[in-house]
Amino acid sequence: MAADRSRDRLPEPTDRSTDAGVAAPEVWHRVHPLTPILESLGVLVGIFVAAAYGLQNFFQRAVEDLARGDGVDLGFAGWLRAHPLVILGGVGGILLILLLTALFSWLAWRVMGYRIDSEAIYYRRGLLSKKQRKARLDRVQSIDLQQKLLPRLLGMAELVFDVAGGSDSNISLKYLSKKRAEGLRDKLLAAVRARKQGTQSGQRTANAGQSAEATAGTESSGGASGGLEEADVAEADMTGDAVGNLDGESAIDRGVPERRDDSIGVRLSKRLGSLAGGASHEAESSINELLAPYYVSAEVSEDGEIIRVPVHRVVVSSLLRTETIISVLVVLFLIATAIVLLALGLTEAFIPMLVAVIPGLFAAFSAFRKNLDNANFVVKLGENGLAVNHGLVSTSRKVIPLDRLQAVCLHQPLLWRWAGWWKVEYNIASAGGTGESNILLPVGDIDQALLMVGLALPDPQLPDELSAATLVRSAMYDRKSEDPQAESAEELFHGQPRSSRLIDPLVWNRRAYAVTGSLLVLRLGVLDRRVDFVPHVRVQSMSYHQGPLMRSLGLGTVAVHSTAGPIEPRVTHQSVDDAKRFFSEHSERTRLARQRYDEEARRAKEGRP
């Protein structure tokens, strides 16, 4: 218990040459005592569902008996009254199970714990099968604070460590009191920042003597690749990028001046440094200056808040989603069918049909509840990224480092058009789990969508007569855009040839791509509109594809590879000549963009203009 009461104190870095015999002892800290019980809720829910299923069957039989004019069969209840020892045995068995569960939970809690040193954080658990996880501090990319419903009601939270190296390497530390979790998170962020700064300094020193050799190697291999099946172009050092970023705390290197290919959000962070109290007016002025090409203005509150999505908007948008509407229609169909059967006198079929409505209600509620996780969505402009809080029942808090965003997309479902709402998502250079939400804006009007897209992307680098707002609106609404310069922006887009109508009869006339000085813009979808943005410096690789049907029609597709996420950019079904030309030109374009981007950072580090 002494370990549980001790403060979560991070050890000071020690000299590695210190004798191991005098090293500080390992101190393990315990998690909240209710953690094993909360982690066993799945079993309890399963028992409850089984009991509810039994009660549902009993209720169904009782209703059917009453509908036929028969009495309800209560024979089992009468048998129990005649055998009270069975009742006592059942009650005793339940109490015994509860006691064994409590004992097992207590023993499991005794072996649960975490330990922190100057190198890593360790988490151990397991009573029969012991497990220990380790997360190196210099590999931690983000630390998110999450609260599900029951832990939230009990004042507890979990810390989720996103660690470079794959989703299986992530660590979830649960559960701690909310105050303790917040304090531990702040200390770990400071420790990770210090650790990474030391690591990066060592890497820069080690790499200084290799720069000439690496440059020579790059020049000698520049023309080696000539195939179209698969080519790696402008590939970023993802390990280095990931290691250099942490939850917005040390993500942006302010030793490097603003670069043209930096996103507007990164440039803003470099200008402001930190949003302390009283700096909101300065932040508001700077953000509006940088976002002027998008014709939007932001109001920054004292604590940096720039967007708040009302709960009612999330609720209405969730009801207008396709999966929710389909679930509701299925429920209404079952109810209508049950009423028709009752009117026809088919009472035996009426009851099962009415009971079948229950799973449909659960499906509709699940589809609706999934989108409610984004209720109370608040975006704040932080020192090194966007701080996002969201959740109605369960809450989540995380920071999105803007310099790690690899691609951004705008999405508008069909039924959102009447309100003019859009959703903004992103791909990020992270090893986050597959269930992680990559949302910049769950639902918002056109101005909010342009604001988030503008912060996440670099300046499009367009001709002087075109603005970023004109380009994005043309990508969103194509020829229906009401922007005065829409015709000029439309000339930048390359559509699909008429021969692609056989493959894409509905969307061939809308699909198009545009290339600017810093971005690849893809216009997709007819019923559900979609626009993908891929900065040139973030392209990982490219591939050319042509199937048998495409070959017969003289078409080809180029996939522009990004990191894992909801965005899979493709220049689809172009003529063979256009597809190959785009492949070659864009490969060279992205390579030069990344080379220029890295060179600007290298010159800044070396103090050269």
pLDDT tens-digit map of 131-148: 888 888 777 777 878 877
Rounded CA-CA distance 339/337 in Å is 5
User: Between the CA of residue 565 and those of 225, 242, 408, 434, 570, what are the distances in Å?
Assistant: 28, 16, 10, 8, 14
For the chain, count helices (H), then strands (E).
Answer: 20, 20
pLDDT of residue 457 exceeding 50: yes
Structural contact between residues 140 and 249, judged by C-beta atoms closer than 8 angstroms: no
Prediction pTM value: 0.69
Is residue 145 within 8 Å of residue 185, measured between CB atoms?
yes
Q: Is the predicted pLDDT of residue 282 greater than 70, yes or no? A: no
Per-residue pLDDT, 218: 33
Q: How far apart are CA 59 and CA 67, in angstroms?
A: 12
Q: Of the given ranges (272-281, 332-341, 345-354, 455-464), which has the lowest mean pLDDT? A: 272-281
Would you kindly state where each structural domain of the chain is located, as residue ranges?
27-110, 122-198, 299-454, 457-523+532-608
* Choice among 116-130, 142-156, 273-287, 592-606 with the minimum mean pLDDT: 273-287
Mean pLDDT of the chain: 76
Kindly state the average pLDDT of the residues 459-474. 91
- The dihedral of CA 39, 41, 43, 46: what is its sign? negative
User: What is the pLDDT at residue 201?
Assistant: 52
pLDDT of amino acid 472: 94
Cis? peptide before 513, omega within 30° of 0: no
The tens digit of pLDDT for each residue in 528-569 reads 999 999 999 999 999 999 999 999 999 999 999 988 889 999
Has residue 377 got a pLDDT over 70?
A: yes
In this predicted structure, the answer to whether residue 320 has a pLDDT above a threshold of 90 is no
* Least confident window among 20-34, 98-112, 445-459, 486-500: 20-34
Sheet of 422-428: strands edge to edge?
439-444, 422-428, 405-412, 529-535, 519-524, 512-515, 494-495
Q: Has residue 276 got a pLDDT over 70? A: no
According to CATH, what is the number of the domain 457-523+532-608?
2.30.29
Strand partners, 125: 131
Across the range 409-437, mean pLDDT stands at 81
Per residue in 68-97, pLDDT (tens digit) is 556 555 555 566 667 677 677 777 877 887
Taking alpha carbons only, the member of 271, 254, 291, 294 closest to residue 475 is 294
Q: Does the structure show a pLDDT above 70 at 331?
A: yes
Residue 217 confidence (pLDDT): 37
Strands 395-400 and 140-147: antiparallel
